[in-house]
A and B are shown apart, each in its own frame.
Chain A
Amino acid sequence: MIEEKLLKGGSFLVEDVDPDEVLTPESFNDEHKMIAKTTEEYIKNDVWPVLEDLENHEFDKSVTLLQKAGELGLLGIDVPEEYGGLELDKITSSLVTEKMALAGGFSITHGAHVGIGSLPIVFFGNEEQKQKYLPSLATGEKIAAYALTEPGSGSDALGAKTTAVLNEEGTHYVLNGEKQWITNSAFADVFVVYAKIDGEKFSAFIVERDFPGVSTGPEEKKMGIKSSSTRTLVLEDAQVPVENVLGEIGRGHVIAFNILNVGRYKLAIGGVGGAKRALELAVQYANERKQFQTPISSFSLIQEKLANMATQTYANESAVYRTVGLFESRLGQLSKEELNDGSAVAKGIAEYAIECSMNKYTATELLDYVADEAVQIHGGYGFMAEYEVERIYRDSRINRIFEGTNEINRLLVPGTFMKKAMKGELPLLEKAMGLQNELMAMMPETPGDEALEQEKYLVGNAKKIGLLAAGIAAQKYQEKLEQEQELLSNIADIAADVYNMESAVLRTAKAIARDGEEKSRQKLLYTQVFVEETLNNIEAHAKETLIAVEEGDNLRMMLSALRKLTRREHINVIEKKREIASTLIEEEKYYV
């Protein structure tokens, strides 16, 4: 048997990958597309008509909607068949997540149920727990929620104060504490709750709403995602049967952190879905709205905005589906036994922690940026609540905060790279060392003028810049690098920029190989503009890092190397953006 080659998490920074190894939206099959369409019709026919009611906290309608979703199969995608689910691939569940973004805050209700609420049981539940809970979660008969955050512990999740003590009879754990900002808490039947057994062993529990001592607080008043329920979960001598401990005692962090990884890439996909919607509304409005007797979409400053929004969306879309492809190939090759063994699954998910974090912060920032510009294009009307962009703008903001703030996620990226390097999983240090010698003698190359040739060359150089910046920072600060958060954040930004850039280039290259250059024109334009502009960001982050770390002759040498690596034939982005925009204006939606 030939084993499928699996790409290592984080390997994009040190290795090149063939376009055919990368999942792109162009390779979705007919079933994927049909399921995406069903999801879209469900939202337009069932969710949109009651969205206003959900925004006003009529949560009985959320429950009805989830049950309808269950009937359609939209809740069982990640649940194995033997527990009443459909057990479809990660591409399917990602596409559903992307389409769900159209539902505003209700997408958070859905996501919390199928994702962070149900997945801990799917991945880490034992046989009895799966049989007991999954069938009713897959139909929507029961709704799930996830309770990790506390008033005093957000990013520092392990600092939780909720305690669990075994009762004298040894039958129940008695939980005490308060969990905060729990999505779906108004109506959830099942909560995955983290608590410390005897105040020290961080563990996960399946807590039913009806257990004695379990209650929820009042509904929170939020800036956005108002159509989702958010309350505290109050545990006062809550009686949780011992068989409801989820996973191993004292190893709750394994569940918590891996579920967060899944939550992160799903949020990223939702970000891309939301950005597409905001762009669509913006371009439609720009075509419709006339000032000076002219549709505002004919003004080139509006066109530039539309082009920027679409270009950033393309790069992020390419990157998040590339990550989905990584998950699909790694989790898809696990055997039934391995899938039933939480640790194998956890390892599979943890492998791509870097990609999940990068996707999370770039795609949620994409959504914020696109939502902001969509409001701007709407002018004063965008500030009015009758317009959908107003809600999108408010709903967007939380994404940069939950599932690990974007700052925490940025710190995680270089941290995880270093760990992988230390364990010998990635040849980062060797590459970085080799690079420093190479850079002395390096002469800038002039790539040919075939489509994407310059972009491919620049992606290669951008990887070198990333290694250079990370390498010298690690050399200088060693284990104290943890304290240099600004440098870590710079490195994280360079890494994410490289990943997005390369993902766009690979996707476009794959499309050109399949459909030819003419039919891939829009993709090519997006990619050229994105690489040109993103390289400026990479250069700025690298420069700031080098100046903070090096000095004198060394610094001058490094800066000169940086200049060589970023030297290129600059392209006329204004011209290209106008061309991008003209297609968007014609199509009146995000178009590739």
Chain B
Amino acid sequence: MNIYVLMKKTFDTEEKIQVSGGAIEQDGAEFIINPYDEYAIEEAINIRDEHGGEVTVVTVGDEDSEQQLRTALAMGADKATLINIEDDVEDGDQYTTSTILATYLKDQEVDLILAGNVAIDQASGQVGPRVADQLDIPYVTTITGITIDGEQVNIEKDVEGDVEKVQTSLPLLVTCQQGLNEPRYPSLPGIMKAKKKPLEELELDDLDLDEDDVEAKTETTDVFLPPEKEAGKVLEGEIDDQVKELVSLLRTEAKVL
């Protein structure tokens, strides 16, 4: 089975976000594999171990993305592809990323594609479905379980805390939700083996794409941090008076009524 995983590198969850000049400060920040993509990698490895085949992890990123790809290889993926757009694309969006990925995947023999449900940085959740759409294959988002039997695939999907059971077939794209599995961390032998596994690097040219083909469909006009949370207010006095004060505050201060 040919399994592909779509991966994104994101800020380490312990990093503090700082904004300067309308952009998030990236200098010196630590990056990790997007945690939802870790579920995808783990599931891909498990499916390969059960059904045979090969796991290829693909990312659209820059030179530094190699580190996260190596981590995926150390976890147990077989191959990695880095589509490096550092020199070609300045401000991409979900359209950019999904077009690049779909163009790359059109040339591959694909049975199953796994992606994270969302990336923890921009949290659009769009790239997976867009890729499936461009490849014209079915997709299921936020899955928490998957079993494959020949061409037939049984999926458990998280629907706002409930489970929906879906039956579909390969080729297929799924996006992975927390609860699907417990991602392993790379073992030392895995880390040493990852050095020798193939890691292919491509640029837009190699995919016969121009900058214009992938130009963003959206424009980011501003980036800002949420306002700092202020201390709460504790109302005092008789209950009736408190209710009156609360209603008046909601009306005049919070302006929600």
Interface residues of A (CB under 8 A from B): 30-31, 34-35, 37-38, 41-42, 45, 71-74, 76-77, 86, 88, 586
Contact = CB atoms under 8 A, between A and B. Distances in A.
Given A86-B192, A88-B192, A30 B70 contact: yes
B186 A38 contact: yes
A74 B188 contact: yes
A35 B193 CA distance: 12
A86 B189 contact: yes
Interface string B186-222: 1111111001000000000000000000000000000
A37 B190 CA distance: 13
B191 to A, nearest CB: 5
Contact of B74 (A34, A71, A86): A34
A72 B188 contact: yes
A77 B70 CA distance: 20
What 6 A-B pairs come out closest when comparing CB atoms?
Answer: A73-B188, A41-B185, A72-B187, A34-B191, A73-B187, A73-B189
B13 interface: no
B67 interface: yes
B185 A30 contact: no
Contact of B188 (A41, A45, A86): A86
Nearest to B190: A73
A42 to B, nearest CB: 7
A42 B191 CA distance: 15
B71 interface: yes
A35 B185 contact: no
Contacts of B186: 34, 38
Given A30-B70, A34-B74, 9 more contacts: A30-B67, A34-B71, A35-B191, A38-B188, A42-B185, A72-B185, A73-B188, A86-B189, A88-B192
B85 to A, nearest CB: 22
B188 A76 contact: yes
B195 A31 contact: yes
A71 B185 CA distance: 11
A172 B126 CA distance: 72
A34 B70 CA distance: 9
Contacts of A45: 185
A89 B16 CA distance: 34
Contacts of A71: 187
Interface in B162-197: 185-192, 195
A74 B16 CA distance: 31
B243 to A, nearest CB: 30
Contacts of A34: 70-71, 74, 186, 191
Nearest to B185: A41
Nearest to B71: A34
B192 A31 contact: yes
Interface of B: 16, 67, 70-71, 74, 185-192, 195
25 contacts: A30-B70, A31-B192, A31-B195, A34-B70, A34-B71, A34-B186, A35-B188, A35-B191, A38-B185, A38-B186, A38-B188, A38-B191, A42-B185, A71-B187, A72-B185, A72-B187, A73-B189, A74-B188, A76-B188, A77-B188, A86-B188, A86-B189, A86-B192, A88-B192, A586-B16
Contacts of A74: 188
Contacts of A76: 188
Nearest to B195: A31
A150 to B, nearest CB: 36
A35 B67 CA distance: 13
A34 B74 CA distance: 9
A476 B69 CA distance: 64
A73 B67 CA distance: 20
Contacts of B185: 37-38, 41-42, 45, 72
Nearest to B189: A73
Nearest to A586: B16
A31 B187 contact: no
Contacts of B71: 34
Contacts of A31: 191-192, 195
Contacts of B67: 30
B187 A38 contact: yes
A37 B187 CA distance: 10
Contacts of A73: 187-190
Nearest to B186: A38
Counting chain A CB atoms within 10 Å of each CB, the highest count among B186, B191, B195 belongs to: B191
Contacts of B70: 30, 34
A34 B185 CA distance: 10
A294 to B, nearest CB: 14
B205 to A, nearest CB: 27
Nearest to B18: A586
Contacts of A88: 188, 192
Contacts of B16: 586
A71 B188 CA distance: 9
Nearest to B191: A34
A31 B16 CA distance: 25
A74 B186 CA distance: 11
Contacts of A86: 188-189, 192
A586 B74 CA distance: 33
Nearest to A87: B192
A28 to B, nearest CB: 13
A235 to B, nearest CB: 36
B33 to A, nearest CB: 11
A74 B192 CA distance: 13
Nearest to A76: B188
A30 B194 CA distance: 11
Nearest to B66: A30
A74 B187 CA distance: 8
A88 B195 CA distance: 14
A45 B185 CA distance: 10
Nearest to A86: B188
Contacts of A30: 67, 70
Nearest to B27: A519
Nearest to A29: B195
A586 B185 CA distance: 29
B16 to A, nearest CB: 8
Nearest to A31: B191
Give the interface centre of B185, B186, B190, B195 by most chain A CB atoms within 10 Å: B185
Contacts of A35: 188, 191
Nearest to A33: B67
Nearest to B182: A45
Nearest to A45: B185
A72 B184 CA distance: 10
A71 B16 CA distance: 34
A67 to B, nearest CB: 13
A138 to B, nearest CB: 11
A72 B185 CA distance: 9
B15 to A, nearest CB: 10
A64 to B, nearest CB: 17
A43 to B, nearest CB: 11
Contacts of B74: 34
A72 B195 CA distance: 17
- Most B CB contacts (10 A, CB to CB) among A31, A42, A88, A586 go to A31
Contacts of B192: 31, 86, 88
Contacts of B190: 73
Nearest to A73: B188
